[in-house]
Amino acid sequence: MALDAYQDIFCRMIASADYRARLVENPASIFINHELTEREQRRLLAMAIHPGMRVNTAIHRANRLTPLDQTLPFTCFLLGDRLGPLLDRYWMANPTENLQLPAECARFAEFLQQEIEAGRLDDPYVEEVLTFERVCTELRFFTEEELRSTAKSSEGMPAQVRIVQFRHDPEALLGALIKLESPPLLEERDYYLAIDARSGDPIFRVLDPEAVAALTGQ
């Protein structure tokens, strides 16, 4: 049995209803790139057409969405109706789930950053909110070993203190998202938000450029 190929197709069938539909409509287009026996192909096709696969897909999506909702809630809210198609592409590219919250957060954040850089995701607020939530997740899941090995950040500050640059007023932007409201039209200029997680619960403070320079030594 070509176990790796068999498992890869099976995982993709669960992750994507579209992939499963393509397999049912044209099995050869899927199987041609994999070394599978006829018996393995028949088994995969039988599973693809089984009604229970829809339930598997629903459960799989709920499981994979949970880490993103817990680590990137504001980003997911901002994406709105765009989230579904983006998740389809992300899950197709990454059919194997990773339920470790910081790892899945980082992987999806990198995917969204690639979408932004490629011009497929155009939004005035997503990039800075994504960066903010990714930093918050990193600080939340700092291990004792990481704290010992990174006593200070690259800017000379404690490892549990970060500064995130915004292009829009973070108080107005994050304030709207906390209330699950669409952000108002905000003027663009440089803002800096310090996140201090040394005491456990993070403390947020908007800084002016002079304060940033004093903290970072730049």
Whether pLDDT at 152 is above 90: no
> Which range is most confident: 54-58, 86-90, 127-131?
127-131
The mean pLDDT of 154-162, rounded to a whole number, is: 76
pLDDT cut 90: percent of the chain above it: 53
Among the ranges given (91-95, 100-104, 134-138, 176-180), the one the predictor scored with the smallest mean pLDDT:
91-95
What's the chain's Rg over C-alpha atoms? 22
The mean pLDDT of 167-183, rounded to a whole number, is: 96
Identify the pLDDT of residue 116. Answer: 97
> Secondary structure of the chain: what % helix, strand, coil (to 5)?
60, 10, 30
> CA-CA distance, 86 to 112, in Å (whole number)?
8
In this structure, the number of other CB atoms found within 10 A of the CB of residue 11 comes to 16
Identify the pLDDT of residue 214. Answer: 78
Whether pLDDT at 215 is above 90: no
Whether pLDDT at 23 is above 60: yes
Question: What's the mean pLDDT when you consider all of the chain?
Answer: 88
Identify the pLDDT of residue 32. Answer: 85
Map residue 195 onto helix, strand or coil. strand
Identify the pLDDT of residue 176. Answer: 97
State the DSSP code for 168: S
The mean pLDDT of 153-176, rounded to a whole number, is: 87
Please indicate whether residue 149 or residue 170 has the higher confidence score (pLDDT).
170
pTM given for the model:
0.78
Whether pLDDT at 78 is above 90: yes
The mean pLDDT of 43-47, rounded to a whole number, is: 93
In this structure, the number of other CB atoms found within 10 A of the CB of residue 113 comes to 16
Per-residue CA distances from 142 to 1, 118, 135, 147 (Å):
42, 31, 11, 7
